[in-house]
Amino acid sequence: MKLPDVLIPPPLKKPHKPGTDNGRNGADPLAPVKDAPADLVGWLDERTGGASFLTGMLYRKVPKGTNWFYTLGSATLFAFVVQATTGVFLAMYYDPSPTQAYASVTHLTNDVFLGEFVRGMHKWGASVMIILIYLHMARTFIFGAYKYPRELNWIIGVTLLILTMIMGFTGYLLPFDQRSFWATVVGVNINGTGPFIGPYLSDFLRAGAEFNAATLPRFYAIHMLLVPGLIIALIGAHLYLVVKLGTTAPPWLHPKRTKTTVREERV
């Protein structure tokens, strides 16, 4: 099916060559000012080719029957952006030393302007992100969108799910109150119950046999540097494959049964 062309924006006007006045012959003295925004966009596009890339990505065709369930992935991405943004600002006040962490968290919550709001966004946004990522996974599973040729994107998605769980696990320790301390003790010991490598894994997480001065900075570095970087990279790969492969139609929409498709089904 051919889309009406009006839906897709036309290619951008090429900016005029240096030394010419764009065919205006100096009639309107304000013409360069009026053309400035379009010229700026054209200047960028001429050097990056970004406009055709964006047109191809944003105006790509989607199957008939696409519905609200298809927005769950974007919603998860939005939750991640909220977490990344609020996390950067929380890091401006947080002190990851075992003796100062709790005091710095109470300070940023109670004394800093809007601190309670930013921390609340980060805390509740974490739960929202976990809920959304599971709903997104359920949509993909129930609609059969993990099947050929999208298996690799399912694998990337599961990796992102695991990384998000690691974010939840490492972030839980950071307030360093009684609840987060003991929850982390239990969580690290659960890691330790894995046969053969479990003891080394829990040692790695604690940076030693006991909870010590290096444990909290280690969790903080994993939480704000290591895992977010991996998540951003994998989200890039995830979106690239979504755009490249396209999305699937909902399972209740069947292709028209013609002689050819019926024969293919039998084969």
Partner 1 sequence: MADAADKTNGPTPEALPKSEPAGYFEGEAMSRRRAFTVAGQAVGGLAGAIIVLPAVGFALAPIFKEPDEVWESVGPTSRFTADTYKPVVFTLVEGIGEAGKTTAFVRKGTSAGNDPYIAISTRCAHLGCPVNFVAAAKSFVCPCHGGVYDFEGKVIGGPPVRPLDRFQTRVRNGQVQIGPRYSVTSHLQPVRYRDPGEYTGGIWNYIYPPRPDTPPPP
Q: Which is nearer to partner 1, 148 or 196 (CB)?
A: 196
Q: Alpha helices, DSSP H only, in the chain?
A: 31-48, 50-58, 72-91, 101-110, 115-142, 151-173, 178-192, 198-206, 215-221, 227-245, 259-266
Give the nearest distance from C-beta 199 to partner 1 in angstroms: 6
Q: Which is nearer to partner 1, 73 or 228 (CB)?
A: 228
Listing DSSP states for 219-252 in one string gives HHHIIIIIHHHHHHHHHHHHHHHHHHH-PPPPTT
Give the nearest distance from C-beta 49 to partner 1 in angstroms: 27
Q: Which is nearer to partner 1, 27 or 209 (CB)?
A: 209
Dist. CA 227–CA 243, nearest whole Å: 24
Looking up tokens 């519905």 gives: 67
Give the nearest distance from C-beta 198 to partner 1 in angstroms: 7
| CB-CB contact of 159 with 266 (8 Å) | no
Give the nearest distance from C-beta 185 to partner 1 in angstroms: 5
Residues that bind partner 1 (CB under 8 A): 98-99, 176, 181-182, 185-186, 188-190, 192-193, 195-196, 198-200, 202-204, 206-214
Q: Which is nearer to partner 1, 83 or 215 (CB)?
A: 215
